[in-house]
Amino acid sequence: MKAFMSQFPLKSIDRLHASQQFGHAMAMASTIQPAEQTNESHFRYSAKEKAKRKANSRRRLHPTLVLINQLIDQQKIPKDRSRPLRTYDEIHEAIERRIQTHDLSDAVTMSRKQLQGADGQEDDGQARSQVTEDESSEEEDEEVKRMDFTESILLNTKDSTKSASYWQALKVFRYFLATNRQGTLISLIALRALNFRTAGVVQAFEKAEGTTLLLNLLSVEDPPVQIGAMRVLLKLSTIAYFARLIVHLGGIEALLENLHQPNEQIKRAAAKILTNLCILKKARKKLCAKDGVPLFVCMLDEYTQKLQDIHSAGSREMRFLTATNRRNSVSLNTSLKALERRISQKRRPIDNLLITICSALGACSKSPEGRRAMRETGMVSVLGRLIALALSEVLEYIMGILEVCCQEKYFRISVWTEGMVPKLIDCLKGSTLNVKIRCSLTLARCCSEACVRDGLRKLKSLEMMNKFLAWEITNSDGAMESLRRVANVRGGMQEDENFMNALLLRYSVNRTVNPARKEEQQHQPHGIKLNLLASQAASGKEERKKRAKEAMASTQHETFLSGLTRLLYKVCLSPENATQLFRLGAVQHMIRLITELPRLFGPFRRPVCSASEKLNGFDRAEKIVKHALCALALMADLPEIRNSIAATSDGIRPWLVLLRLAIDDLMPATCASIRVLLTNASIRNAFIEHGGVRMLFAYVTTGQRDAKLEALRTIRTCLENIQNTGRVLKPLTSSMDTIVSFIRSLKTDSEIQRAALETIAQMARDRNTLAIMTDLGVTQEISRLLSVATDDEMCISICHALAACSYYGKNAFYFGDTNCVPVLAAFMRSRNEALRSAAVKAIHGLSFDPENAAQIWGANICKLLTSLAAGNEESTQKAATGTLTNIRKLEFIATYQYN
């Protein structure tokens, strides 16, 4: 460019510019005329002449300047508008805009949503195709949202001036760029001491491109510098902004290269950074694409083999010391302790590296790609060898990996075939509480397979689970007592007691309240015992540590009880296990849980998404009660257990109290367990006597989706097992419109519609109720649903409702008039046996009308009716023979009239 410009003298260019300016001024001056002259010119000149004069007034640029402008435009760098990361100023403007528009829903920026939308959809699709359980680990992590929200507040500074932290960080970076190796290490130490959650430090990092500089140091062949850079990156990776920046700048590839280094400190630091980065979906996906998971599994296998060598060498040396001992036992114990210290010193770095590797694998297991890579590399067999040798700190991370991976059936079967179930039982029996929590959740997932449930019973682990359950309920250091303490600290314990005692007195529940505890509560009106000495001691550091440790232990016991009840619920899927647990007394423990725990959190509910509810343990208490209700529902399927529950003094009354408390999260499980118990006559009579059906109809009217569905199914079961349905439904005539409204709208959920149709079929057994529902238009809605239904299950429910409603008034004539007979005849030709049976019952109800009987004869299904009359099911036989009888009666009457 300079050579090209040197061809033209400077004076000629200045002269050219001057001439252009002069010409432009003369053109402008020529256009400025008086108003009268301008008007005359408009009349004097035509449009073509005006355009010509206007074009002549503009002077063209010199070709040399045109060429120079073209060359300058060619050297311009186009701006990349697809940049996924924004500057600090852009983030600040976006935050200010959201605050002004009151857009405070969450802290994830719109650009990040657009960039990761496609990746999230792909991950969700793969998760739905691979995960068989309801829980999915591919949902957006709550921790990422919390980090984004926190950083959006911390980075929101309205002052545009640079802070002192900005200049300090920038000074460190300038020293970092201008110094030698020793100064680089000092600079890295200074960078690590900065507070990266301040706006000034973020601005300084962006100004100096600090993240890029640190990532470049990872490729330097200098271990101290690499370790120093990794320690700074480790601190940066705990912040969502810098974690995304590291992933975007290719930090995962550089960190994977450092995993091949022989230095164990570099390996451990790189694995820790990758673990922190894997909280992001994009990082997990990228790590799996770069074959990071097989590398971690290979490292796990390598260090497991080293651990086995250390263990075998130590066992050989211990046997040698024991065999060659010529002195007393004191010297032998001293030698053995020295050997143990030596072995622990050898395995300490390996254990630290194993913890890091397992935490990285646990983060990768959240994505379906990571689980697929683990499945292909045979990770389960490696973990099976490691469980027998690992310490409790490593076992906690191993159980975390298995808990997430056992969502898939392959891993559940692999846990059984690799012989890991006995090892998991040993960990549940004699390890730390954190390991027991993870182990119980892992076994609960594995118990979805029948072979694992049978294996637990054969290994005699049910007795151990029952002992743990009894200890957590009855011991003063257990989970039940911890939840009681939480309720006492809340305040208002007296109001809770009054509310619950009123319910218990209403249903005549025998209160098992400890009198000593009740006397203490009279002296503690606020549930807190004021002790001056304790409050003074709490100011000390040791006392605060002790209180924090006790609080952590209480939380762990509550979480363990939640996992234990979930394990017992899954174990009860096998009837043999349910019978054995009943003989061990687990049913009484479960009933105690659903009786006493709602006393603590039932009357005073916090909002569903409240953080305080999760912090004070009420979410864990709800999970415990929910798992206990599900376990009782499975146990009550057995007549022996159901009769024993009916024979207790409380009977159905604890479930009635739960219905009165109206806890939304517990309603589906409560209704499901009640539905099983209502098959017992005494429980059913007590339930109806105390107004249980009325409470179920209330949930049908105002409850949530799952509560409505389970309440409808429970009402159907209750009405199905009683003879006089009119006595139960007579006070509830106002609720009939709600049931009919479920089948009136096509927007209603299909499962709720099926449950409503089955409930209508049972309610129609009472003539007065059927008359009311007929006036509400139930026949029109059933005939409309019959014409549009395509699902076999929906068709079966419609046939049941149609058969029950066709015996009143002119309902059968209306169904025949709306062309229902040909549809039912088509159902009879179906291969689905249940659908054929339901269609026969519906046709039998319509055949009492002569015109319908003639349509049935014309549909050419008499041979099918004859074959069904010779079947095995009694109700189907009666319906088929009754339909043929009605047709014969019509034929006889027609023949008699003709004669």
Count of CB atoms situated within 10 Å of the CB of 668? 23
Residues 642 and 614 in one domain: yes
DSSP state of 637: T
Which of 74, 92, 127 finishes a domain? 74
Q: What is the pLDDT of residue 466?
A: 93
Strand ranges inside 410-483, DSSP E: none
Q: In this structure, is residue 705 part of a structural domain? A: no
Q: In this structure, is residue 528 part of a structural domain? A: no
Residues 478 and 558 in one domain: yes
Mean pLDDT over 337-360 rounds to 88
Cα(491)–Cα(283) distance, rounded to whole angstroms? 45
Q: Would you put residue 889 in left (φ > 0), alpha (ψ -120 to 50) or beta?
A: alpha
Burial pattern 673-698, b for ≥16 Cβ within 10 A else e, equals bbbbbbbbeebbebbbebbbbebbbb
Q: Which amino acid is at 747?
A: K
Q: In this structure, is residue 436 part of a structural domain? A: yes
Token reading at 695: 């409470």
The pLDDT tens digits for 70-112 are 666 665 545 444 444 455 566 666 666 656 665 544 434 444 4
Spell out the SS3 assignment of 661-709.
HCCHHHHHHHHHHHHHHCCCHHHHHHHHHCCHHHHHHHHHHHCCHHHHH
Residues 468 and 590 in one domain: yes
Q: Concatenate the DSSP letters of all residues of 780-811 into one string.
A: HHHHHHHHH--SHHHHHHHHHHHHHHTTSTTH
Cα(719)–Cα(766) distance, rounded to whole angstroms? 10
CA distances from 399 to 300, 359, 403, 415 (A): 15, 11, 6, 12
Residues 276 and 347 in one domain: no
Mean pLDDT over 621-630 rounds to 91
Cα(218)–Cα(278) distance, rounded to whole angstroms? 19
pLDDT band (50, 70, 90) for residue 155: low
Mean pLDDT over 4-19 rounds to 41
Q: In this structure, is residue 476 part of a structural domain? A: yes
Please say whether the dihedral angle defined by the alpha carbons of residues 757, 763, 764 and 768, taken in this order, is positive or negative: negative
Q: In this structure, is residue 191 part of a structural domain? A: yes
Residues 442 and 489 in one domain: no
Q: What is the pLDDT of residue 319?
A: 86
Q: What is the pLDDT of residue 677?
A: 93
Q: In this structure, is residue 539 part of a structural domain? A: no
Q: What is the pLDDT of residue 143?
A: 61
The pLDDT tens digits for 394-426 are 999 999 999 999 989 999 999 999 999 999 999
Any idea which of 79-88, 366-375, 713-722 has the lowest mean pLDDT? 79-88
> What range does the domain containing 64 cover?
2-74
Give percent of the chain above pLDDT 90.
Answer: 20
Counted domains in the chain? 5
Q: How far is CA 333 from the centre of its chain?
A: 52
Strand ranges inside 202-270, DSSP E: none
Residues 300 and 256 in one domain: no
Which of 47, 74, 101 finishes a domain? 74
Reduced to 3 states (helix: H, G, I; strand: E, B; else coil), residue 762 is helix
Token reading at 90: 């852009």
- Given a cut of 70, whether residue 565 has pLDDT beyond it is yes
Q: What is the pLDDT of residue 602?
A: 60
Residues 360 and 500 in one domain: no
The pLDDT tens digits for 814-860 are 888 888 888 898 888 888 888 989 999 999 888 888 888 888 888 88
How many residues in total does the chain contain?
899
Q: In this structure, is residue 662 part of a structural domain? A: yes
CA distances from 209 to 92, 174, 202, 487, 579 (A): 19, 11, 10, 52, 67
pLDDT band (50, 70, 90) for residue 627: very high
Contact 252, 283 (CB under 8 A): yes
Which of 690, 722, 755 finishes a domain? 690
Residues 277 and 296 in one domain: no
Q: How far is CA 365 from the centre of its chain?
A: 15
Q: How far is CA 385 from the centre of its chain?
A: 31
DSSP state of 32: -
What is the longest distance spanned by two Cα atoms in the chain? 134
Instruction: Specify the CATH number for the domain of residue 578.
Output: 1.25.10
Residues 400 and 470 in one domain: no
Q: Which amino acid is at 730?
A: K
């909002």: which residue's tokens? 607
Residues 299 and 285 in one domain: no
Contact 405, 386 (CB under 8 A): no
Residues 210 and 307 in one domain: no
> CA-based angle 477:432:440, to the nearest 5?
90
Q: What is the pLDDT of residue 759?
A: 92
Q: Torsions phi, psi of 99, nearest 5?
A: -70, -40
Q: In this structure, is residue 157 part of a structural domain? A: yes
DSSP state of 475: S
Q: Name the average pLDDT for the chain.
A: 77
Residues 585 and 614 in one domain: yes
Instruction: Give long-range contacts, CB 8 A cutoff, 24+ apart: 426-429.
Output: 427/387, 427/395, 427/399, 428/461, 428/464, 429/464
Q: Torsions phi, psi of 784, nearest 5?
A: -65, -45
pLDDT band (50, 70, 90) for residue 435: very high
Instruction: Specify the CATH number for the domain of residue 388.
Output: 1.25.10.10
Q: What is the pLDDT of residue 84?
A: 43
